[in-house]
């Protein structure tokens, strides 16, 4: 079938450096830009956990950009391949961190557990009106246990889970393809 051969050819191509780094760089940039568009154009203010979930995507973009630069530098092939493999591992670890933050944030949103950060709702039943007013005046970020935006019934933290799993698997496959190419070149 032509579709199997097409997928085999293009699938192995996008998993190779530099294409995998280009995809990872675009993924990191797109994810951060999407968060900023929601924040500044649609007034979806991020909570503390939302802000923490941006860091792995920034890290992926930085690692991928460095990987692209290294790929096009004139250094020895084994050194270049080892650095690129290391950067792919760092990208994969960043997606695992994003996955962990997404699972944690989803649990906070579903009230399965509380966040150790000062972003969850506080018990105000024992406070006076003036104390509650003062507490509200000091609150700057939205609560982490409150869902601010959904798409198809899922919050951004929920969407982060399958997205991070998919990107982790993509990065893992890219690592394995590069590792296989390194083994073939040594033989």
Q: How many CA atoms lie within 13 A of 83 on its CB side?
A: 18
- What mean pLDDT is predicted for residues 169-186? 78
Which has more confidence, 90 or 11?
Answer: 90
- Identify the helix (H) or strand (E) that includes residue 154: strand 154-155
Q: Which of 75, 114, 103, 83 is nearest to 162 (CA)?
A: 103
Positive or negative, the CA dihedral 44, 49, 52, 56 is negative
* Residue 92 CB neighbour total at 10 angstroms: 22
Contact call for residues 51 and 44 (beta carbons, < 8 A): no
**Residue that the structure tokens 């790929």 belong to:** 71
The pTM assigned to this predicted structure is 0.77
Tally of CB atoms within 10 A around 102: 24
- What pLDDT digit, counting tens, does each position of 116-156 carry? 765 545 555 666 677 666 765 665 667 767 777 767 877 88
**Does pLDDT of 56 surpass 90?**
yes
Q: 61 or 110: which carries more pLDDT confidence?
A: 61
Q: 64-101, pLDDT tens digit by residue?
A: 999 999 988 888 888 888 899 999 999 999 999 999 98
Range list of β-strands (E), the chain: 150-151, 154-155
Q: Could you state, in order of their start, the residue ranges of all structural domains in the chain?
A: 13-112+128-186
Residue 110 DSSP label: T
Name all contacts of 50-53 with Cβ < 8 Å and 24+ positions apart.
Answer: 50/105, 50/144, 50/156, 50/157, 52/101, 53/98, 53/101, 53/102, 53/105, 53/156, 53/157, 53/160
CATH second-level architecture of 13-112+128-186? Up-down Bundle (1.20)
């Amino acid at each position: 079938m032509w579709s199997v051969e097409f997928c085999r050819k293009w699938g192995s191509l996008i998993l190779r450096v530099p294409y995998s780094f280009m995809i990872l760089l675009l993924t990191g940039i797109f994810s951060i830009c999407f968060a900023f568009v929601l924040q500044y154009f649609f007034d979806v203010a991020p909570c503390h956990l939302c802000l923490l979930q941006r860091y792995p995507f920034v890290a992926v973009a930085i690692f991928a950009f460095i990987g692209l630069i290294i790929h096009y530098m004139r250094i020895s092939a084994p050194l270049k391949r080892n650095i690129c493999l290391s950067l792919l591992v760092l990208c994969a670890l960043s997606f695992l961190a994003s996955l962990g933050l997404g699972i944690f944030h989803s649990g906070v949103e579903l009230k399965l557990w509380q966040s150790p950060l000062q972003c969850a709702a506080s018990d105000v039943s024992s406070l006076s009106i003036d104390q509650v007013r003062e507490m509200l005046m000091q609150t700057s970020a939205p609560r982490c246990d409150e869902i601010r935006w959904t798409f198809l019934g899922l919050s951004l933290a929920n969407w982060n889970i399958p997205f991070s799993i998919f990107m982790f698997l993509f990065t893992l496959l890219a690592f394995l393809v590069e590792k296989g190419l390194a083994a073939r070149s040594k033989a």
